[in-house]
Chain A
Amino acid sequence: MTTIAQAGRKSTEPLRPEPATVLEVIQETPNIRTLRLAFDDPSVMEAFSFLPGQIGQLSVLGAGESTFAISSAPSGSGSFEFSIMKAGVVTGAIHELAAGDRTAVRAPMGCGFPTDEWKGKNIVLVAGGIGMAPLRSLLFHLLDNRGDYGELTLVYGARTPADLCYEAGRADWQQRSGLDFTATIDAACEGWDGCVGLVPNVLEERGPSPENSVAVTCGPPIMIRFTLQSLSKMGFREEQIYTTLERRMKCGIGICGRCNLGPKYVCTDGPVFSLQELRELPEEL
């Protein structure tokens, strides 16, 4: 079984968050915002590091806390980001935050992508909607360590152009050599002269080779399902495919019992799993 890289958060009080301040809020789409945050305690901020794919819990004290992928570059720069879709009580409260507001964060948690094992390989990223958040961190890591990896492919889809996140990033990714980036939307619309089509179809058109490659996919369950079919058609084997899973979470440290998939916990054993690992677990998605 593949070993997934882990950078543990060791704390004597694992349920107690660390105060943090919102530095910047970016409205990505009508219902997704990216928050750039920093821990208030400079020594905590300095010691903070994470792997792409790891997650954190963001609190709005009084409303509660929720789980999000850390979406910024793991190399760090005195801050980190979450990209948050408005879905309910806590995410609604998060969407009311402005620069200067105080929050509290528990991070990092879980296991990241095994990027060390992937050195020397081509990497194919397939994302839909808010599923781009964990892959964005991974992409930053791959671009920052360009020499360690082969060809990079990214297919990122959303329903409409307005639903695509990371505008500045997309402009940059378009220019990068060695990165085949396609942004796609579901149906043609005015003002969009880019690619039109569902993510799995576009992926098949781009046709990255499975030879010495790994594929990573994250997005809505239905997109993941069809993407897996496409990858398999293209010749990717289960051990070459990775995904990050979602489950309702509370503790984030494997004790509240909420996020298990068989004997594994998504919060500590995941959220990154290879398809091969998932096949060995009870089917309860």
Chain B
Amino acid sequence: MTKIIKNDNIARLLEQLAEDAEVWAPRELAGTGTAIFERWQNGVAVDLEHITSISAKDVVLPRTEKLFDFNYAFGDPVPGENIEIVAAVTAPATVLFGARACDAKALTVLDALFDNPESESYNDPNYQARRRALTVITLACTTADAACFCSSFGEGPAGKAGSDLILYPLEGGYLAEAVTARGESILDAATRFFEESNAEPPQLAETATVEGLDGLQQQLPAIFKDLDFWNEITATCISCGFCSHGCPTCYCFNIHDEMSGDRKGERLRSWDACMFYVYTQEASGHNPRPTQAHRYRNRINHKFSYYPVNQGETLCTGCGRCIRGCPTNLDIREVLRAAKARAVETELMADGGKAETDK
């Protein structure tokens, strides 16, 4: 089903959606040429031009969220007093407005891990509750910037994966196409903002691709031990973790307790990143990933080898956020190309060696 919504009606649509749901939408950070996703409020202008610096993942995986409350503190002077552990999953109906195809696709990637009823071990009540209460309205991209490479991973700038409704920019408005029943119900419920139309979708953006990533999953192990390569790649990296925090598919988290009074507290989980030194540091002081080279190697392997092995999907949607946001200009596309070339070289050398000894 497709309909048209005029620019003027966008704010009114958001108002109506906000009557029954939390609405998240991009807001421009004034003067920065970038935007962030935020809880939308009446009167706030949405920015449908700039891609957000940080992805929309905190709609389903908040930066910090409560796992449960407890009412017992260490050193409680009343032995035998009951511990109470109260789970804290609350998930109001939520609409994510103005996600890009790379954001929506990332949700389906995370679903495999956090909301997978078929799996025995992976199931996350907080994620499940939020995800199932979420409606995604995606904005197809008609322009791409220098860091976009979503076409490397399938459907590209108007991919439907993860979206309930897609908006294609037109002159003066948007062509709205329902992808799921939820998307259709928005078109049905908000009829006064949508008009019947037989307009054609506009010309979509062309994004750069990283060619020949196909064999990477099998090839990365060949250069795992090549620390010279990883050292060269990460020479400038300062382990700031932005590449992970901005990324729509990075999901690593930490768990910690916070007290709010003598006998009360909460257990929280927060975003973490394998780019940080302490991430794998053990209590003995030993650290299996002591340098940037070790840590970035893990990040790349997790995204392009381990996750594909375990879940059959690449843990990257080509959104380019890690490229735009890295303070030292590390470009994951160049890393992938270099890794590919180095792996091929290494395999050739290994083969050459074999051929030598076979003689």
Contact = CB atoms under 8 A, between A and B. Distances in A.
B120 A61 contact: no
Contact of A10 (B67, B82, B120): B120
Main secondary structure of the interface of A (DSSP, over half): loop
A76 interface: no
B310 A263 contact: yes
B251 A102 contact: no
Interface in A26-74: 40, 59-65
Interface in B235-276: 251-257, 259, 265, 267, 269, 272, 274
Interface in A229-285: 246-248, 250-251, 253-258, 260, 262-263, 268, 282-285
Contacts of A120: none
B280 A247 contact: yes
A256 B272 contact: yes
Interface in B59-94: 67-68, 70, 72-76, 79-83, 85, 87
A91 interface: yes
Given A16-B87, A91-B283, A96-B75, A258 B252 contact: yes
B70 A87 contact: no
Contact of B74 (A13, A60, A258, A284): A60
B93 to A, nearest CB: 22
Contact of A248 (B221, B280, B301): B280
A258 B122 contact: no
Interface residues of B, number: 57
Contact of A100 (B80, B282, B309): B80
A265 B283 CA distance: 19
A15 B269 contact: yes
Contacts of A96: 74-75
A19 interface: yes
B123 to A, nearest CB: 7
Of the candidates A40, A65, A263, the one having the most CB atoms from chain B within 10 angstroms of its own CB is A263
Given A247-B280, A256-B253, A221 B286 contact: yes
A61 B272 contact: no
8 contacts: A14-B123, A15-B269, A40-B82, A61-B70, A63-B74, A64-B257, A87-B283, A263-B310
Interface of A: 8, 10, 12-17, 19, 40, 59-65, 87-88, 91, 93, 96, 100-102, 104, 221, 246-248, 250-251, 253-258, 260, 262-263, 268, 282-285
The 6 closest A-B pairs by CB, nearest first: A257-B252, A87-B283, A263-B306, A100-B79, A19-B83, A263-B309
